Structure 1
């Protein structure tokens, strides 16, 4: 059983829980360590007690830089209490900065760099962007594998800009299904005369999407409603709860467990909002969000934006509704004459595709763990844990995810 040390930027991130479940399902023994960024007990993992490296906050780059430097000082004492891992997985650049020291401590353990978003600071042409890309190249010198979720990240960032020369493993954000009982995409049922419901689930971080959906539902006078669930990135909103409260056709239903609650929450909506303007023109064009796979798996048609990687994948599979652009008029025009017959025709296309494009099963989990295990290097005779070099002088990026 390969041992994996998973270093994460946010222990309260549901995506971290999902990855740990995947690693365990694939046959790995997982040790979890990272920073706590807010409370989210739904992200707790039964049987796993994480090692906390400190507390961080959204949109506070300097604070997280200091926290990473402080964690580097504490890391030798922390790592002294855990078995030598076969591989270290570092989620995001700030954890990659710690992974090199952890690898040295254990005697040259291979490192996989998991990067599922490309932060705007990495893309700048100024001093900050260049410095952060240099830091990424520095910390990835001994990285054995890059794990990312979209081919567009490789095409538009990692190959032309990052300077990384690391083998790539594409691991899409598909729905984790471990029970072994494949079920079909559920049939769509809706009470005639009730509003159409758009589900916006996951990380609620895009203020432009919020404003667009609020204006849309008001213009449609209740014919459409929006249900929000997940984790609002409150630093991106000026009073998130008050904003929701004043919108008559939007409501926030709180967090949920992923993957356990997905079937239930997507059964309550007709569409999935799979558009993101959070880092418009760059990351938002390239990402393949969790909600795209979740909605398609559970029968909610994705709404996507033309020209994005999300739209490319949806078009490839012949599913969803594509907006020509991000204008309110484009959204209104797309749904002005929308009816049940149009929905059922689109839903039938989704059902015909089946679940396979949208899910990860135990075999997929095992294949990923085997890919990580293949990185293992033999332990040198008499190898002892080594001191961890200081990271205080190094600049690191801290992803707001």
Structure 2
């Protein structure tokens, strides 16, 4: 059984929970260690008791650097009782620093995989700060054996031309974890029924960190005068909003329903909406234009129609498949115009096109988990990791975009 040490930046992140579940389902024995940014009981994982390295805060980069430096000095003591891992997976740049120290403690033969699913704006600055950050990433990643990322656009626009890293790359999309062995026998569910007088419902689920989306959706819902509602669920990044809770209390056509368990609650929460907001302006023009978000796969798997913004990787992904709705501009007027002409027939046609794809493009099943762990096991055995060529054609941006050795 593969012994895997997973070092993470936020133990309360639901995506961390999902990744650990993938590793365990694939047959790995996982030791989870990392920093905690907030309490989140929904992030607990049966059978896995995390090792807490310290507390960090959103938006306080200097504080995080200090916490990481302190952890690097004490990592040998913290991991003294942990069996030597076969592989270390470091989620985000700060954990790559910790991973290097951990590998030195356990022995230099322990391979490291660098998991990077977002490109922070500091990495993209065209000044000395950006140069220093990219240089640090290149130095810390020098001993890594594999890069794990979630969108081909990250490789095309950042890792290949800018990062200074030269690593075999595993494209691991943000697909829905489906450990039900019979899951692929069923198509995505039918869209929720809607009476003519009822409003359209747009779901914005997951990491709620985009103030521009919140403002845009508010203006849109007011312009629609109750003919459309916006439902929010997930974990707000409070550091990115002036007063998220106060803003939501004053919204007549928007509602926030708190966190949820992923993947257990996805069917229930998507059953209550017709469309999914798959747009993010958090790192506008860069990271937000390149990512393929969780909600893209979640909404398609569960029968909701994703809404994407023209010019983004998400829009390109959908247009190549003839799916979803593409917003021509990032403003309330464009979204309002889109819904002023929306009909039940058009909505059902959009849902039918998604259903015709089946669940396979949107899900990561038990067999996929086993393939992932096998790929990491090959690293542990000293096997050569296979390099993936980018950009990938649309037909390859699925389970075929990573390969067994």
**TM-score w.r.t. structure 2 length?**
0.92
Partners of 1:110 and 1:377 within 8 A in 2 = no
The within-5 A match list for 1:363-378 is 363-377=367-381
Residue aligning to 1:343 = 347
Query: 1:106 Cα shift?
Result: 0.9
Query: 1:146 Cα shift?
Result: 0.1
Query: 1:105 Cα shift?
Result: 1.1
Q: Which of the residues 215, 221, 224 maps onto 1:217?
A: 221
CA distance in 2, matches of 1:303, 1:280: 16
RMSD of the TM alignment (CA)? 0.8
Residue aligning to 2:306 = 302
The within-5 A match list for 1:71-150 is 71-108=71-108, 109-150=110-151
Residue aligning to 1:155 = 156
Query: 1:168 Cα shift?
Result: 0.2
Is 1:184 the counterpart of 2:187 in the alignment?
A: yes
Is 1:244 the counterpart of 2:248 in the alignment?
A: yes
Is 1:25 the counterpart of 2:25 in the alignment?
A: yes
Query: 1:72 Cα shift?
Result: 1.1
CA distance in 1, matches of 2:217, 2:301: 23
CA distance in 2, matches of 1:3, 1:271: 41
**Partner SS for 1:228:** strand
CA distance in 2, matches of 1:235, 1:311: 28
CA distance in 2, matches of 1:141, 1:38: 31
CA distance in 2, matches of 1:224, 1:70: 49
Query: 1:181 Cα shift?
Result: 1.4
Partners of 1:145 and 1:168 within 8 A in 2 = yes
Residue aligning to 1:281 = 285
CA distance in 2, matches of 1:163, 1:25: 33
Partners of 1:317 and 1:353 within 8 A in 2 = no
CA distance in 2, matches of 1:30, 1:127: 38
Partners of 2:189 and 2:303 within 8 A in 1 = yes
Q: Which of the residues 262, 267, 276 maps onto 2:266?
A: 262
Partners of 1:199 and 1:228 within 8 A in 2 = yes
Paired residues, number: 378
**Partner SS for 2:31:** strand
The within-5 A match list for 1:52-63 is 52-63=52-63
Query: 1:305 Cα shift?
Result: 0.5
Residue aligning to 2:172 = 171
Partners of 2:192 and 2:272 within 8 A in 1 = no
What residue ranges of structure 1 are gaps of 5+ in the alignment?
Answer: 379-401
Is 1:314 the counterpart of 2:318 in the alignment?
A: yes
Deviations along 1:295-320, whole A, 9 cap, x unmatched?
00000000000111001111122211
Deviations along 1:2-28, whole A, 9 cap, x unmatched?
010000000000000000000000110
**Partner SS for 2:307:** strand
Query: 1:247 Cα shift?
Result: 0.9
CA distance in 2, matches of 1:40, 1:147: 25
Residue aligning to 1:390 = none
Residue aligning to 1:227 = 231
Q: Which of the residues 306, 328, 332 maps onto 1:328?
A: 332
CA distance in 2, matches of 1:123, 1:209: 22
Residue aligning to 2:209 = 205
CA distance in 2, matches of 1:316, 1:374: 34
Runs of 4+ in 1 over 3 A off after TM superposition: none
CA distance in 1, matches of 2:101, 2:237: 31
CA distance in 2, matches of 1:21, 1:132: 31
Partners of 1:266 and 1:295 within 8 A in 2 = yes
Which sits farther off after the overlay, 177-186 or 149-158?
A: 177-186
**TM-score w.r.t. structure 1 length?**
0.93
**Partner SS for 1:143:** coil
Bigger relative contact order (CA 8 A; separation at least 6): 1
Query: 1:332 Cα shift?
Result: 1.2
Query: 1:377 Cα shift?
Result: 4.5
CA distance in 1, matches of 2:380, 2:181: 29
Partners of 1:216 and 1:328 within 8 A in 2 = yes
